[in-house]
């Protein structure tokens, strides 16, 4: 099945709101085997809405809109699309009663404002898409040639809820239920290797594996590999994805840290938890980013003891016990200092694992010997330590984020190697 998406709202055109609805819808529809063939965004004007939806109906005959269902004067979606179908508007008493009950249940003062009655107006012959997450109901309108428009709310949470609760079951039924094919994707997450080097490792399966496209998606935290199965029934798609991911995982080897939306910080916390290890962090150029990544994960308190932001040499010396002669001989951004920081924070906080970062985040402070982007990360696991200098490029923000990811990856690898 092919559909078009029309997202509605002046704020989308002005760039104040990022159009996450279209992306989210496209992903959800693809997972259900429905292909989005075109997307458009228009302002709140009735004629803009009517022309975009009208063209999409002519072309594809299946349109999903988001936005403009609310009670305010700039919410014109329903009326302009009703006009397109040659239908009038009528008041739906059931919806109005529901809106009144919702108003009263919330303990809001007075009667339901007259403007809210707008939300109870429906095009003649429309079907209601129930909104369990907000007040504005969605609308399904279909003509006698089977061409249809589904109007969803603009608020992303309401849009997502209505898509799952109402729209997808409806489209699934139209497509013939179980016989339908799906479009499904799976992601493998790698870090610590350049995208080009990863492609070399993957060799003949870098672009396609078992007939499925491989998308290589580089980001701050590494390169994700995403494969997509199309045109298969759900079970067959899952089996193909399992096999494809297994082949990619084997080739990418130690650079793989997870799949789906896995966060490396959570992977590290789990690895520590499995061993009943605690962790402490010592950060110079990242100034707390690493501690932030770890403590952003719910439940981190049973593993993370704390950390030291050792920005100045004095703090490295006095709180972490980095010997002044090591600092003088090698400079703050060096392997020996990174190792001393990791050992020092482990000792002073009484942790099993100490991890450290020291580097030149720029834009100033670089030298010929230690250019901007020079970073050392070190880990000390119960006295066994190692340090690496990850290859890092980018601006200050990128360098700091990549340094934190590099430190997490070093901990992951140190713990995994310890098991061997
Ligand atoms: P409401 O009942 O709140 O008026 P609505 O269906 O009329 O809902 P809009 O008024 O168009 O929706 O948008 C409400 C809010 O939802 C916007 O302020 C914006 O923050 C968000 N929003 C709207 N469209 C999108 C979109 N395409 N992507 C992401 N967010 C959106």
Ligand 1: distance of its center to the CA of 82 in Å?
20
Cα 14–17–21 angle (5° rounding)?
120
What's residue 202's pLDDT? Answer: 97
Looking at residue 115, what is its pLDDT?
79
Contacts 24+ apart (CB under 8 A), 295-301: 296/265, 297/263, 297/265, 297/266, 297/269, 299/269, 300/269
Q: Whose CA is nearest to atom 13 of ligand 1?
A: 154
Q: β-strands 279-283, 212-219: how paired?
A: unpaired
Give the pLDDT of residue 380: 98
- How many whole angstroms separate alpha carbon 208 and alpha carbon 399? 31
Output the residue whose Cα is nearest ligand 1's atom 10: 68
| Sequence-ordered list of residues with C-beta below 8 angstroms from that of 219, at least 6 positions apart, any chain | none
pLDDT for position 177: 54
CA of 69 to the centre of ligand 1 (A): 9
**Residue-level pLDDT at 144:** 93
Provide the pLDDT for residue 179.
52
Q: Which of 419, 407, 417 is nearest to 279 (CA)?
A: 407
pTM of the model: 0.72
Beta carbon of 137 within 6 Å of any ligand 1 atom: no
pLDDT score of 72: 73
State the Cα–Cα distance between residues 216 and 218, nearest whole angstrom: 6
Report d(CA 76, CA 66) in Å as an integer: 12
Place of tokens 């609805």: 21
* DSSP bridge pairs for 385: 380
- Tally of CB atoms within 10 A around 370: 17
CB 29 within 8 A of CB 86: no
Nearest 5°: CA angle at 159, between 104 and 2? 145
pLDDT given at position 73? 66
Decide: 267 and 257 in contact? Cβ < 8 Å.
yes
Question: What is the 273 CA–ligand 1 centroid distance (Å)?
Answer: 42
Residue 153 alpha carbon to ligand 1 centre in Å: 7
CA dist 238 to 151, 211, 217, 243, Å? 31, 14, 21, 9
Question: Whose Cα sits closest to atom 3 in ligand 1?
Answer: 70
Using CA atoms, how far apart are residues 103 and 111, in angstroms rounded to an integer? 8
pLDDT value of residue 218: 87
Mutate to test the pocket of ligand 1, among 11, 154, 161 (most ligand atoms within 8 A of CB): 154
DSSP 68: -
Ligand 1 atom showing the smallest separation from residue 7 Cα: 27
**Model confidence over 173-224: pLDDT tens digits?**
887 654 567 778 899 999 999 999 999 999 999 999 999 989 898 888 899 9
Q: Which atom of ligand 1 is nearest to the CA of 71?
A: 4
Distance from residue 35's CA to the centre of ligand 1 (Å) = 23
CA of 132 to the centre of ligand 1 (A): 16
pLDDT tens-place values along the chain, 420 residues long = 899 999 999 999 999 999 999 999 999 998 888 889 999 999 999 999 999 999 999 999 999 999 998 777 667 899 999 999 999 999 999 989 988 888 888 888 888 888 788 788 899 999 999 988 888 899 999 999 999 999 999 999 999 999 999 999 899 888 765 456 777 889 999 999 999 999 999 999 999 999 998 989 888 889 999 998 888 888 999 999 999 999 999 999 999 999 999 999 999 999 999 999 999 999 999 999 999 999 999 999 999 999 999 999 999 999 999 999 999 999 999 999 999 999 999 999 999 999 999 999 999 999 999 999 999 999 999 999 999 999 888 899 999 999 999 999 999 999 999 877
Q: Which of 408, 200, 227 is nearest to 304 (CA)?
A: 408
Please state, in angstroms and rounded to a whole number, the distance separating the CA atoms of residues 196 and 393.
15
Separation between Cα atoms, residue 321 and residue 236, nearest integer Å: 58
Query: How many other CB atoms sit within 10 Å of the CB of residue 210?
Result: 13
């Amino acid at each position: 099945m092919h559909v078009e998406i029309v997202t509605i709202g002046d704020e989308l055109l002005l760039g104040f709101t990022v159009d996450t609805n279209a992306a989210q819808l496209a992903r959800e529809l693809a997972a259900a085997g429905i292909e989005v063939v075109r997307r458009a965004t228009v302002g709140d004007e009735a004629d803009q809405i009517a022309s975009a939806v009208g063209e999409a109906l002519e072309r594809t005959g299946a349109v999903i809109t988001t936005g403009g269902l609310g009670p305010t004067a700039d919410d014109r979606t329903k009326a302009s699309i009703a006009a397109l179908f040659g239908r009038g508007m009528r008041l739906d008493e059931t919806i109005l009663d529901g809106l009144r009950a919702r108003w009263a249940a919330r303990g809001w003062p007075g009667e339901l404002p007259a403007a809210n009655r707008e939300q109870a107006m429906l095009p003649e012959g429309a079907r209601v898409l129930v909104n369990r997450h907000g007040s504005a109901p969605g609308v399904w309108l279909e003509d006698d040639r089977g061409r249809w428009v589904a109007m969803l709310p603009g608020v992303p949470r309401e849009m997502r809820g209505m898509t799952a609760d109402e729209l997808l079951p409806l489209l699934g039924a139209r497509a013939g239920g179980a016989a339908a094919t799906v479009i499904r994707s799976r992601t493998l997450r790698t870090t610590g290797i350049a995208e080009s080097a990863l492609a070399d490792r993957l060799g003949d399966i870098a672009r396609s594996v078992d007939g499925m496209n491989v998308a290589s998606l580089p980001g701050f935290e590494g390169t994700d590999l995403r494969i997509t199965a199309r045109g298969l029934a759900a079970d067959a798609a899952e089996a193909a994805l399992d096999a494809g991911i297994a082949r990619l995982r084997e080739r990418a080897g130690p650079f793989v840290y997870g799949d789906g939306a896995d966060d490396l910080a959570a992977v590290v916390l789990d690895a520590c938890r499995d061993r009943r290890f605690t962790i402490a962090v010592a950060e110079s150029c990242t100034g707390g980013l690493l501690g932030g990544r770890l403590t952003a994960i719910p439940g981190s308190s049973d593993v993370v003891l704390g950390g030291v932001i050792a920005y100045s040499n004095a703090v490295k010396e006095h709180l972490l016990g980095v010997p002044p002669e090591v600092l003088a001989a090698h400079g703050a951004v060096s392997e020996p200092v990174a190792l001393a920081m990791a050992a020092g924070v482990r000792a002073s906080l009484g942790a099993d694992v100490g991890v450290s970062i020291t580097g030149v985040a720029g834009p100033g402070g670089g030298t010929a010997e230690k250019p901007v982007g020079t970073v050392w990360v070190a880990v000390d696991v119960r006295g066994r330590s190692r340090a690496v200098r990850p290859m890092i490029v980018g601006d200050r923000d990128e360098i700091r984020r990549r340094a934190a990811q590099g430190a997490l990856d070093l901990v992951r690898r140190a713990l995994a190697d310890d098991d061997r």
